[in-house]
A and B are shown apart, each in its own frame.
Chain A
Amino acid sequence: MSAGAPPILIAQDVQKTYGARTALRSLSFSLGRGRVLGFLGPNGAGKTTSIRVLTTILEPSAGRFEVDGIGSDRPVEIRRRIGVLPEGLGFPRNTTGIEYLTFYGQLFGSGSRESRATAIALLADVGLQNRGGSLVGTYSHGMRQRLGIARALVNDPRVLFLDEPTLGLDPRGQQELLTLIQRIARERDTGVVLSSHLLSEIEGICDDVVIMNAGHVVAKGTVAEVIGQSGAPGTGERVVRVRVPATLVATAQSLLDAEPVVVRTTLTDPIAGWLAIETKDDDRPDDGAADRNRLLAALIRADIPIVAVETGRGRLQDVFLQLTAEAIE
């Protein structure tokens, strides 16, 4: 974010209702230039509704938002300043990549030559320079997602909305797309709103995060702030996370709970076998290293295989699971 620059996107108490059903309650956040904001939430949390409201596809029932200083009462002006990759976007089959982008460039007010030049440049930017002349119907899913991002960039948007962009992509495709998104934010100074189910990808590339559940915002801030403020098991400073075989988690948990340095042991991921062990804060200068070693030694003595160990700041996934579970309860 440019120093001292005002936020490029501000949402204040945005709400959306369908009759008696409330899909979105009080969405408030801001996004800076060049920053990536992760929109997290389980299915039905209101992520897509939020994006559709903020991109002027849906009318908010209450509240307001601004994009680059343009208020939500001027939807056409907002559309000029945003780029959007909707979830599950379809493409015409009988059009080439260049023709597709040229068409959209023209819809945004550019001349045909200029649009075509932009289309060719954007195809190169997203790694499709060799397929620009091919029919979109022949593109793979990953290539279509890249083309969709290129389409979202034809108007040089101030804010880019990406709704589940990596859905259905293989791990390499996901990684490449995330790298591309990060590059767009940094090099164009574009604010990016990234909706995703994949917590690891959000944690990896996002500067800020908004966690939603059942239409509510349950947490927001930088990734570090959200993890730090959550109080979720496994997210404190004096926490070590240990992964053991799922069949041995109960044995490991009781063993660790019996250790005098342990405050509590929480099973954070029963399927993968992750345990979060919070140790006592005794102000020793080793920052708990000796305690961690003692715990690991105890597991080794009990012949419990240690599959993985994590220390330091907790994982976003733990925060997400706790916050969304609390909201459901």
Chain B
Amino acid sequence: MTAPVTAPEDGGIRGASRPIWWLVFVQELKELWVGGRALNLLILFTALMSATSFLLATNSELSLTPPRLMMVVTLQSTMSFGLFLGLIVGAESVSGERERATLEALLLTPAGRRAVVLGKYLAALSPWPVAMALAVPYVVLLAQGDVALGIALVWGAALGTILTIFFTGIGVLASMWSGSTRTSLFVGLLVYLLALLPAQLPGEFQATTAGAVLQALDPLESARQFLNQYLVDGVALDDARLLLVAPILALVAVLIAILGFAAPRLGLDGATISLPRLPTFGRGA
């Protein structure tokens, strides 16, 4: 028999040619993209974007919606649909491994839990840049040469990235706690619908202080409001930037929750999510 790799005696990952998170990230990308799941989601995304753009273009022909508003609405749709892709992939990232019985093999390696989760998290974010790139032609077409196109694309991409990191993180968190993808998807979808809720409230309520606070706390609605105020209503950046607080705080919170708290406690069973803390040898029980 051949002599395989001998585990390094130093006890670290120092012999690795690449960081663990990178190895997991590449492996996950392969499963996601070669397996066709990301492509299927992007087809769905494209269909939704096409339908939205068609409706907006129809409105434009009737002179009901100005080009700048159409551009912003398209960007908002890109964010809403695009982050949903990350949410779905994130919600499947760990619980899917549990269901396929592939998680245990990963946990049996000396690889750090945080690095494993980070690799999966980054892979779950991978559909977003592609979705954003796919959305650019729609935005350009509907902008009809509007001078704010460039800045709109920059802000749309930036806010979309922040929101995608947040919602994908929600999906990953749910996935780490759940034993089934169905449950983690349900939790993720629930959070997503709750984030959409403030925009659906009656206009009278939205105009009240409570409505304004609710919108300001909701990262998705805040981002939408920011794009509206800054790009459509012409509100100065200094005045509109308060609306960026909620998305940024949400982003920081979810990163801390995942990498600081949940990832080191990742376990084989979703409900317990506990990292083994073994008793000291020789101490007995």
A115 contacts the other chain (Cβ, under 8 Å)?
yes
Expressed in whole angstroms, the Cα–Cα distance for A144 and B273 within the complex equals: 28
Expressed in whole angstroms, the Cα–Cα distance for A104 and B97 within the complex equals: 16
A77 contacts the other chain (Cβ, under 8 Å)?
yes
Q: A56-B278, A57-B276, A125-B1 are in contact. Are A110 and B16 (CB under 8 A)?
A: yes
CB distance from A85 to the nearest CB of B (A): 9
Contact B2 A111 (CB under 8 A): no
Contact B107 A57 (CB under 8 A): yes
Q: Which of A75, A84, A93, A111 contacts B276 (CB 8 A)?
A: A75
A-contacting residues, B1-33, CB 8 Å:
1-8, 11-18, 20, 23, 27, 30-31
A34 contacts the other chain (Cβ, under 8 Å)?
no
Q: Which residue of A lies closest to B20 (CB)?
A: A107
Contact A108 B105 (CB under 8 A): no
Contact A121 B2 (CB under 8 A): yes
Q: A94-B30, A108-B109, A124-B2 are in contact. Are A72 and B23 (CB under 8 A)?
A: no
Residues of chain A within 8 A (CB-CB) of B7 are 80-81, 108-109, 155-157
Contact A64 B279 (CB under 8 A): yes
Q: Which of B15, B34, B105, B285 contacts A94 (CB 8 A)?
A: B34
B-contacting residues, A250-264, CB 8 Å:
none
B282 contacts the other chain (Cβ, under 8 Å)?
yes
Q: Which residue of B lies closest to A121 (CB)?
A: B2
Q: Which residue of A lies closest to B24 (CB)?
A: A107
Contact A103 B23 (CB under 8 A): yes
Expressed in whole angstroms, the Cα–Cα distance for A112 and B110 within the complex equals: 17
B-contacting residues, A17-62, CB 8 Å:
52, 55-62
CB distance from B165 to the nearest CB of A (A): 25
* Contact mask for chain B residues 92-126; partner A; CB cutoff 8 A; 1 contact, 0 none: 00000100111011111111000000000000000
Contact B6 A188 (CB under 8 A): no
Contact B278 A75 (CB under 8 A): yes
Residues of chain B within 8 A (CB-CB) of A71 are 280-282
Contact A63 B285 (CB under 8 A): yes
Contact B100 A115 (CB under 8 A): no
Q: Which residue of B lies closest to A135 (CB)?
A: B34
Expressed in whole angstroms, the Cα–Cα distance for A75 and B108 within the complex equals: 10
Q: Which of B2, B5, B31, B108 contacts A110 (CB 8 A)?
A: B5
Contact A73 B35 (CB under 8 A): no
Q: Which of A88, A99, A157, A184 contacts B1 (CB 8 A)?
A: A184
A105 contacts the other chain (Cβ, under 8 Å)?
yes
Residues of chain A within 8 A (CB-CB) of B101 are 86, 88-90
A118 contacts the other chain (Cβ, under 8 Å)?
yes
Q: Which of B110, B274, B285 contacts A15 (CB 8 A)?
A: B285
Q: Which residue of A lies closest to B285 (CB)?
A: A62
Contact B102 A92 (CB under 8 A): yes
CB distance from B94 to the nearest CB of A (A): 13
Contact A86 B104 (CB under 8 A): yes
Contact A109 B15 (CB under 8 A): yes
B284 contacts the other chain (Cβ, under 8 Å)?
yes
CB distance from A107 to the nearest CB of B (A): 4
Expressed in whole angstroms, the Cα–Cα distance for A238 and B97 within the complex equals: 54
Residues of chain B within 8 A (CB-CB) of A188 are 1
Q: Which residue of B lies closest to A86 (CB)?
A: B104
Q: Which residue of B lies closest to A82 (CB)?
A: B108
Residues of chain B within 8 A (CB-CB) of A81 are 7
Contact B279 A121 (CB under 8 A): no
A154 contacts the other chain (Cβ, under 8 Å)?
yes
Residues of chain B within 8 A (CB-CB) of A105 are 4-5
B250 contacts the other chain (Cβ, under 8 Å)?
no
A202 contacts the other chain (Cβ, under 8 Å)?
no
Expressed in whole angstroms, the Cα–Cα distance for A167 and B3 within the complex equals: 28
Contact B30 A60 (CB under 8 A): no
CB distance from B182 to the nearest CB of A (A): 17
Residues of chain B within 8 A (CB-CB) of A112 are 17-18
Q: Which residue of B lies closest to A79 (CB)?
A: B110
Residues of chain B within 8 A (CB-CB) of A118 are 2, 4-5
Contact B279 A110 (CB under 8 A): no
Contact A110 B15 (CB under 8 A): yes
A302 contacts the other chain (Cβ, under 8 Å)?
no
Expressed in whole angstroms, the Cα–Cα distance for A293 and B3 within the complex equals: 53
Q: A64-B282, A107-B111 are in contact. Are A90 and B4 (CB under 8 A)?
A: no
Residues of chain A within 8 A (CB-CB) of B281 are 64, 66, 71-74
Residues of chain B within 8 A (CB-CB) of A76 are 11, 110
Q: A79-B109, A103-B23, A151-B105 are in contact. Are A122 and B4 (CB under 8 A)?
A: yes
Residues of chain B within 8 A (CB-CB) of A73 are 278-281
B268 contacts the other chain (Cβ, under 8 Å)?
yes
Contact A60 B278 (CB under 8 A): yes
A174 contacts the other chain (Cβ, under 8 Å)?
no
Contact B5 A156 (CB under 8 A): yes
B-contacting residues, A106-163, CB 8 Å:
106-112, 114-115, 118, 121-122, 124-125, 151, 153-157
CB distance from A158 to the nearest CB of B (A): 9
Residues of chain B within 8 A (CB-CB) of A55 are 108
Q: Which residue of B lies closest to A52 (CB)?
A: B268
Expressed in whole angstroms, the Cα–Cα distance for A126 and B63 within the complex equals: 70
Residues of chain A within 8 A (CB-CB) of B274 are 59
Contact B16 A187 (CB under 8 A): no
| 11 pairs, CB–CB < 8 Å, chain A vs chain B | A56-B276, A57-B108, A72-B279, A89-B104, A109-B13, A110-B16, A110-B17, A121-B2, A154-B4, A155-B4, A156-B5
Query: Considering the complex of A and B, which 7 residue pairs feature the smallest CB-CB distances, nearest first?
Result: A71-B281, A62-B285, A90-B101, A121-B2, A59-B276, A109-B15, A80-B7
Name B residues whose Cβ lies closer than 8 Å to a Cβ of A. 1-8, 11-18, 20, 23, 27, 30-31, 34-35, 97, 100-102, 104-111, 267-268, 274, 276-285
